[in-house]
Structure 1
């Protein structure tokens, strides 16, 4: 596949379910050019599939990215344990690194809440799929009242959770909890994750409970509706399926289904974080590209 030198060059680290969908989304973007897909095992099924799709690949890990660069955007769809090494290798290259692993490193960014920060920071952290689904809603609620307790329960299909996701569940919970505290200014936060083996596979579902004083129903409902609309602009499968606003308590359930591409509909967790990643990459690359080109 020939490179398009008129667009910023993007690299995807990782060729699992998240990486494959990222590749599809980058290729559909009119603002990014997929330059390389990187793995560590030349015999991995994912990397072979990517090569069969006609994309340039390497099995030599982050060293290959440094040697073949410079690149403008690097998506890290590997695992939390490897991410710090990747940032250390790329820090001096000028690339923007977008972290889809739950490391908690870098500048935490959620489109629709603080997406503008993608233009001024080179190390971006996307929290987690649950964080991307919950934080826009929770941030909207926190603008209308002062939460004293927030509980978030994410339920995804087992089939949509790869090996790296399962290995990183502790980091997922810790990083998501920290981000929710930051975006809502709420100290008491509890995050739980369920992987469901049900058949047919259920859609990605995030249930949120917020305890707060002086809750006014109309403003809260209006803010949640606006937040949901903003998320749907880049993740069309996002919807609020249940909302109850009672004195002292707000209960919200959102579901995310994957739309388009090769993802099954139940893989909304993958779809929302990848959609957020590509949107931020386009914004970051667009800003820097304008600076570099007349």
Structure 2
């Protein structure tokens, strides 16, 4: 079966890493176009050396290119603000869009949690790298017991954060917090991102802390099993994703009432569940410390392939 040509808008770290994943890993997609706005960008230069058509004229250059009609899916790896304009420009052409920015125009998708629910969408949003790493864990806990509050801290190497990521810091926290609730199932979500300037650069680390009702031993065991199962699912498409240590449980009292929604406050107390993760990158573009690129582009590729497969099945029916 022939591969579907894909275009990537955004020739920075995320877009370039995604390009290499499509070239090396995908049986469904092929690179049709690399789109940027900086003619001197490394991503455009690498694409050109690989024989991939490029443009530095942004979405207008994509729409005007000779292969545009053949492009079956467009990835946007720019910024939240730029994606709003890009999506508006592309909408009339009926292209599938996978949004890797925090713009959140389409539904949030985390492949290990809710991909099948959105295979008919024309545009999907990949939340954020921190969301892709932590929402599966929150959802795994919520599958066993209600999550009153979920807080995540995503720590990434400063060297792995390009201009687009830095421009999206505010949107990162807002979109990830919203998706912790909408996809993860938390009653209240909070997200924090840390750009760590340490040298040598550290690999991506993520901390998930949730508050639940007071859990007994049997429920704690079920939570541990659910988290382990979901981590294995994510590792199926992000091989460097793993638990850093065993799931931690700590009983809490009314001292945490202020962060629990009013209708979830429990005089019987709470249990704080802490999960520590790390994401080692596949080093297709930046070194292994850039796990934030790896989980984002791996999730986007898995999602795009599923969307294309669903449409092929529909066309064959």
TM-score above 0.5, yes or no: yes
Question: Which of 16, 23, 28 does residue 19 from structure 2 map onto?
Answer: 23
Aligned-partner Cα distance in 1 for 2:184–2:77: 27
Task: Describe the SS at the equivalent of 1:287.
Answer: helix
Aligned residue for 1:122? 122
Question: Contact 1:14/1:38 (CA < 8 Å) preserved in 2?
Answer: yes
Matching of residues 186-205 of structure 1 within 5 Å: 186-205=186-205
Matching of residues 64-103 of structure 1 within 5 Å: 64-68=61-65, 69-70=68-69, 71-103=71-103
Which is greater in Rg?
A: 2
Question: Contact 1:217/1:246 (CA < 8 Å) preserved in 2?
Answer: no
Task: Describe the SS at the equivalent of 2:295.
Answer: helix
Aligned residue for 1:42? 39
After superposition, the C-alpha distances for 1:100-159 in whole angstroms (9 at most, x for unaligned) are: 001122111100111113421011100000000000000000111112221111100000
Question: Contact 1:137/1:224 (CA < 8 Å) preserved in 2?
Answer: yes
Question: Contact 2:112/2:234 (CA < 8 Å) preserved in 1?
Answer: yes
| Runs of 5+ consecutive residues of structure 2 not aligned to the other structure | 252-270
Aligned-partner Cα distance in 1 for 2:185–2:301: 27
Question: Contact 1:173/1:192 (CA < 8 Å) preserved in 2?
Answer: yes
Task: Describe the SS at the equivalent of 2:38.
Answer: coil
| Runs of 5+ consecutive residues of structure 1 not aligned to the other structure | none
Q: Work out whether 1:225 is the aligned partner of 2:228.
A: yes
Task: Describe the SS at the equivalent of 1:144.
Answer: coil
Question: Contact 1:115/1:280 (CA < 8 Å) preserved in 2?
Answer: yes
Aligned residue for 2:167? 167
Aligned residue for 2:265? none
After superposition, the C-alpha distances for 1:173-214 in whole angstroms (9 at most, x for unaligned) are: 000000001124433322111111112211101101111113
Aligned residue for 1:11? 7
With normalisation by structure 1, the TM-score equals 0.94
Aligned-partner Cα distance in 2 for 1:115–1:160: 27
Question: Which of 235, 238, 245 does residue 235 from structure 1 map onto?
Answer: 238
Aligned-partner Cα distance in 2 for 1:217–1:273: 30
Q: Work out whether 1:57 is the aligned partner of 2:51.
A: no
After superposition, the C-alpha distances for 1:224-262 in whole angstroms (9 at most, x for unaligned) are: 001000000100000011221234110001100012523
The root-mean-square deviation of aligned C-alpha atoms, in Å, is 1.6
Aligned residue for 1:271? 294
